[in-house]
Amino acid sequence: MKKKSIIGLLVLLLMVSAFVIGCTPKESKLDSTIVTNGINKPKVKSSEEPTGEIKIGNVMELTGDWTPYWTNNSANTDIYNFITGMDTVSMTPDGIYQINETIVEKSDIKENKDASKTYTFTIKDGLKFSDGSDVTAKEYVTTVMLWSSKTIQDAGAKSDYGYYLKGYKGFKDGTSKEFSGVNLISDKEFSLTIAAEYIPYFHELPAVASTPTKLSFWTDETVEIKDDGNGAYFSDNFTAKNFKDRFNEARNEVGNFPATGAYKLKSYDKSNRTAVLEVNENFPGDYTGQKPKIKTIVYKKITQENALNELLIGGVDILHQVTNGDDITTGLDLVKKGGFDFVKYPRSGYGKVMFQTDFGPTKDVEVRQAIAHLIDRDDFAKSFTGGFATVVNGPYGESMWFYQETKSELNEKLNQYSYSLEEAKNLLIKAGWILDKNGNEYKEGIRYKREKNGKLIPLIIEWASPEQNKFADLLAVKLQQNKDIQEVGMEIKQTVMSFDELLLYMYRDGSVDKKYGVPKFGMYNLASNYKPIYDLTKDYTTDCEMVKAGYNNNFLVDKELENAAKAMVKLNPKDKEEYKANFVKFITKWNELLPDIPLYSNMYHDFFNEKLKNYNANDLISISDALLYAYVEEK
């Protein structure tokens, strides 16, 4: 299992049938040649050797920062997934985690006297990186150690890989040289120990997953990992001062990146944001032994305006996770005419307005709630997705089993934030936005509020939005330009920028430029996708150091919300009923605090050239997982 931080990200589970807004979408009249929701159609015999090329188009631009520990860009993460594999723990298309027997020769579990739990893994012989160097137990330990270290955090990266392991906090903070929950036993054997405070844990097996990392690639040949019996540790020369520059080089490396996945990076053209990947001959296969059948993958930046035309003319072969209603309708028309195919599946996430809540007007929960009352979310979802979506009221999506099984209860308990100018006004008055620019009683224009230091601040929301983005374009019409925004005494100022720059502002990453480290934008339009580990404890952490390190992107510090998130996962994996009950409690508190405004959870559509065979996607797996089982059949 590839661990990675997610703006959420994160999530889950059983696929469900489509739920749509309004009338049945036009798509229902079509018979897709592929069964949706991750159920494979009959496999057609293909050649044993990888052949052909598939070009993936994405409106999200690559930045070349492949590892997901500095920034969280979904396009970069796709590349990371193509080049990362050989996990000790893998996930099936149904969201079930299991030991990867392609990699693991033997595994043992031991419950310790201190209530911690140790997983010991013995890996198979003959494992290699794409560059031909050997993969041993040390490389699996390296992953946990490197991405949990104070050194990597001091270099500006997140360091939460071993979050649930014994001794993590001391190792991450630098107060302990040894990572007591990580043991390098031999060239083939290592162990990971889940800390007693996290036993039970609802997502236990993924918590001890690892994948190989080549230490010398990120540092040099002089850095070592040792274990004298009390836990693994780095040699003393492993410091940010010594290797920060190397980290920044390695995270953007192309041809020399030691891949462990089905593919390796051949090239990356920064000018047109295009990456080319070729089969990694040393990839041993996934948990079933499956190896890639497609020789070359090209991943390129396209615009939303030209996406379907690129597919039509052969500029790309697949459009992954199309959300816009007009694009879906056009894509379905292409399928009707022949030469193209599609799959559809519900999303395990949602499109949203995201707030940062530690400064400016959006610091007030009433301001966030007022904005929610000034956008007709049903209308927005219909307009944007063409009816291929529903409106949700919290951080979840239609594909999640625990949402589907608690939907009725949530609908009764949650604030729907129906459109209401009057309610928006009342909320702003309640929060103290009752003055004009001169400090007099508010009559008209922009509302002001007097802070504790006596300073007047205006009700102006600074909004950062990505360029060439239909979601942002519609949000400008439906929210920013809504006459009731002015009527209520508010202004929303939009600043359009590249998505890469937007992330720098959102993460407040001052390492690139000091201006990004200063809070500027209180509102963003984004989306969150969750994978089967639905654990939001880090997303809403109140730990100041973790917030500073970029885990809580809303900068919402609320102990009750954090405790509710923890209660969800502090359960035995079999306690599904209690998990659902705690999910409802968490969502109810979240819905009150409203760090985001959920706008839609849609039905994803993947459109592709019919030369691509056996392509079966769902929202639990990555596009790299889906393409691993696909192949190209040229006419």
Does residue 441 sit within a domain? yes
Q: What would the pLDDT profile of 137-148 be if each residue is shown by its tens digit?
A: 999 999 999 999
The answer to whether residue 39 scores a pLDDT higher than 80 is no
User: pLDDT value at position 469?
Assistant: 92
Please answer whether residues 519 and 359 qualify as being in contact, where contact means their C-beta atoms are separated by less than 8 angstroms.
Answer: yes
Q: Are residues 227 and 307 in the same domain?
A: no
Does residue 574 sit within a domain? no
What would the two tokens of residue 565 be? Answer: 């998130």
> How many CA atoms lie less than 13 Å away from 478 in the CB half-sphere?
22
Backbone φ and ψ of 352, nearest 5°: -155, 160
CA angle 67, 549, 58 (to 5 degrees): 35
Does residue 526 sit within a domain? yes
Q: Are residues 516 and 386 in the same domain?
A: yes
In which domain, by residue range, is 47 found? 26-84+255-346+603-632
Gap between the Cα atoms of 104 and 85, Å rounded: 13
Q: Are residues 427 and 326 in the same domain?
A: no
The answer to whether residue 343 scores a pLDDT higher than 80 is yes
Q: What would the pLDDT profile of 142-179 be if each residue is shown by its tens digit?
A: 999 999 999 999 999 999 999 999 999 999 999 999 99
Q: Are residues 215 and 261 in the same domain?
A: no
The answer to whether residue 600 scores a pLDDT higher than 80 is yes
Gap between the Cα atoms of 7 and 539, Å rounded: 7
Q: Are residues 104 and 183 in the same domain?
A: yes
- pLDDT band for position 16 (50/70/90)? very low
| Nearest Cα residue to 614 out of 17, 33, 48 | 33
Residue 239: left if φ>0, alpha if ψ -120 to 50, beta else—which one?
A: beta
- Average model confidence (pLDDT) across the chain: 92
Q: What would the pLDDT profile of 232-267 be if each residue is shown by its tens digit?
A: 999 999 999 999 999 999 999 998 999 999 999 999
Q: What would the pLDDT profile of 93-128 be if each residue is shown by its tens digit?
A: 988 999 999 999 999 999 999 999 999 999 999 999
Helices (H), 400-497: 401-404, 407-413, 421-430, 470-475, 483-487
| Nearest Cα residue to 5 out of 219, 196, 152 | 152
Burial 8-36 (b: 16+ CB within 10 A, else e): bbbbbbebbebebbeeebebeeeeeebeb
The answer to whether residue 30 scores a pLDDT higher than 80 is no
- pLDDT band for position 47 (50/70/90)? low
Does residue 541 sit within a domain? no
Please answer whether residues 6 and 622 qualify as being in contact, where contact means their C-beta atoms are separated by less than 8 angstroms.
Answer: no
Gap between the Cα atoms of 391 and 397, Å rounded: 9
User: pLDDT value at position 35?
Assistant: 31
The answer to whether residue 36 scores a pLDDT higher than 80 is no
The answer to whether residue 46 scores a pLDDT higher than 50 is no
Q: What would the pLDDT profile of 451-495 be if each residue is shown by its tens digit?
A: 999 999 999 999 999 998 999 999 999 999 999 999 999 999 999
Q: Are residues 409 and 515 in the same domain?
A: yes
Q: Are residues 612 and 627 in the same domain?
A: yes
- Residue 130's domain is classified under what CATH number? 3.90.76.10
- Residue 417: helix, strand or coil by DSSP? coil
Chain center to CA of 350: 11
Share of the chain above pLDDT 90, in %: 86
Q: Are residues 429 and 451 in the same domain?
A: yes
Q: What would the pLDDT profile of 197-232 be if each residue is shown by its tens digit?
A: 999 999 999 999 999 999 999 999 999 999 999 999
Q: Which residues pair with 57 in a beta bridge?
A: 300, 319
Say which residues have a Cβ less than 8 Å from residue 481's Cβ, sequence separation at least 6: none
Q: What would the pLDDT profile of 265-298 be if each residue is shown by its tens digit?
A: 999 999 999 999 999 999 999 999 999 999 999 9
Does residue 588 sit within a domain? no
The answer to whether residue 388 scores a pLDDT higher than 50 is yes
- pLDDT band for position 1 (50/70/90)? low
Q: Are residues 120 and 196 in the same domain?
A: yes
Backbone φ and ψ of 79, nearest 5°: -65, -45
Does residue 553 sit within a domain? no
Task: Lowest mean pLDDT of 12-16, 171-175, 390-394, name the range.
Answer: 12-16
Please answer whether residues 586 and 580 qualify as being in contact, where contact means their C-beta atoms are separated by less than 8 angstroms.
Answer: no
Q: Are residues 100 and 211 in the same domain?
A: yes
Long-range contacts for 213-216 (Cβ within 8 Å, ≥24 apart)? 213/139, 213/142, 213/143, 213/146, 213/147, 214/129, 214/133, 214/139, 214/142, 214/258, 215/138, 215/139, 215/142, 215/146
- Residue 302's domain is classified under what CATH number? 3.40.190.10
Does residue 403 sit within a domain? yes
Domain count, the chain: 3
Q: Are residues 270 and 321 in the same domain?
A: yes
The answer to whether residue 4 scores a pLDDT higher than 70 is no
Q: What would the pLDDT profile of 300-311 be if each residue is shown by its tens digit?
A: 999 989 999 999
User: pLDDT value at position 6?
Assistant: 33
Q: Are residues 133 and 48 in the same domain?
A: no
| Residues in the chain, total | 635
Q: 14 to each of 9, 148, 567, how far by Cα in Å? A: 17, 31, 22
Gap between the Cα atoms of 101 and 336, Å rounded: 42
Does residue 281 sit within a domain? yes
User: pLDDT value at position 72?
Assistant: 77
User: pLDDT value at position 18?
Assistant: 30
Q: Which residues pair with 600 in a beta bridge?
A: 351
